């Protein structure tokens, strides 16, 4: 069972067996045996594998998770935003250990924005964001370029570049955003 999880996490991180071996100090043949379920790693080896995957041992072993399914009810969502920028959001996904993606819903009032031209990038290197405009229209400003988005449009971009969304229209705009973490965490 741990072998399947190691393989899934390794592949989701875009790592080869050799990459994980270099990062963890566990040999590629040993990693291969663990992934195929031919051997169970000692606690020391499992901790080194977790470190190579940039997880804690408890995250790798799922000791701090309550199950395979997590439901976030509307009243449990994390909310935030800026009244000054006329932006509100709610994070729809639970904060789970080792989670590599986050789904959020954003509302921009007329004239609102999620940030400004001079805001520094706020996502880790290698992060990607996909946004779907549910209603209204928006402008994505990414790395100084402006992109018009209307209801139904979906955009994907490098989220580690300076970016923000603006609503120049006279009506509110709502969009969903999925932020996928970078392949390597600092």
The per-residue DSSP string of 62-129 comes to TTT---S-----GGG-EEEEETTTTEEEEE-S---TT--EEEEEEEE-TT-BSS-TTPPP-S-TT-EE
Q: Name 174's bridge partners.
A: 107, 135
* Most confident region among 11-15, 94-98, 112-116 by mean pLDDT: 112-116
Answer whether residue 142 shows pLDDT above 70. Answer: yes
Q: Which CATH number fits domain 74-180: 2.60.120.10, 3.40.50.2000, 3.30.70.1450, 2.30.40.10?
A: 2.60.120.10
Name the fold adopted by 2-61.
434 Repressor (Amino-terminal Domain) (1.10.260)
**H or E element: which one contains 160?**
none
3-state secondary structure (DSSP) of residue 166: strand
**Residue from 77, 142, 122, 138 nearest 103 by CA:** 77
Answer whether residue 174 shows pLDDT above 80. Answer: yes
Question: Are 2-61 and 74-180 in the same CATH fold?
Answer: no
Rounded CA gap, 51 and 48, in Å? 5
**H or E element: which one contains 176?**
strand 173-180
Enumerate the domain spans of the chain.
2-61, 74-180
Rounded CA gap, 130 and 85, in Å? 21
Answer whether residue 120 shows pLDDT above 70. Answer: no
**Predicted pLDDT of residue 185:** 40
pLDDT > 90 in the chain, percent: 60
Mean pLDDT of 94-105: 81
Q: Name 79's bridge partners.
A: 90
Quick check: pTM over 0.85? no
pLDDT > 70 in the chain, percent: 91
pLDDT tens digits for 21-68?
999 999 999 999 999 999 999 999 999 999 998 888 887 887 655 566
Least confident of 32-36, 120-124, 148-152: 120-124
Q: Which residues 6+ apart lie within 8 Å of 93 measured at CB?
A: 72, 99, 101, 102, 103, 104
Mean pLDDT of the chain: 88
Asked if residue 136 lies in contact with residue 153, where contact means CB atoms within 8 angstroms, the answer is no
């Amino acid at each position: 069972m741990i072998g399947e999880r190691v393989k899934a996490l390794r592949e989701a991180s875009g790592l080869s067996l050799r990459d994980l071996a270099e990062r963890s100090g566990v040999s590629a043949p040993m990693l291969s045996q663990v992934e195929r379920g031919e051997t169970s790693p000692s606690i020391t080896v499992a901790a080194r594998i977790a470190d190579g995957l940039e997880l804690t041992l408890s995250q790798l072993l799922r000791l701090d998770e309550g199950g395979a399914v997590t439901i976030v009810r509307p009243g449990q969502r994390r909310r935030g935003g800026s009244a000054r920028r006329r932006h509100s959001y709610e994070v729809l996904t639970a904060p789970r250990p080792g989670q590599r993606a986050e789904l959020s819903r954003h509302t921009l009032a007329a004239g609102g924005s999620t940030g400004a031209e001079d805001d520094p990038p706020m996502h880790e290197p290698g992060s990607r964001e996909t946004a779907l405009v549910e209603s209204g229209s928006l402008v994505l400003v990414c790395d100084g370029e402006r992109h018009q988005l209307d209801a139904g449009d979906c955009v994907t971009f490098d989220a580690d570049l300076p970016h923000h969304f603006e609503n120049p229209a006279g009506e509110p705009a709502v969009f969903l955003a999925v932020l996928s973490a970078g392949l390597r965490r600092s």
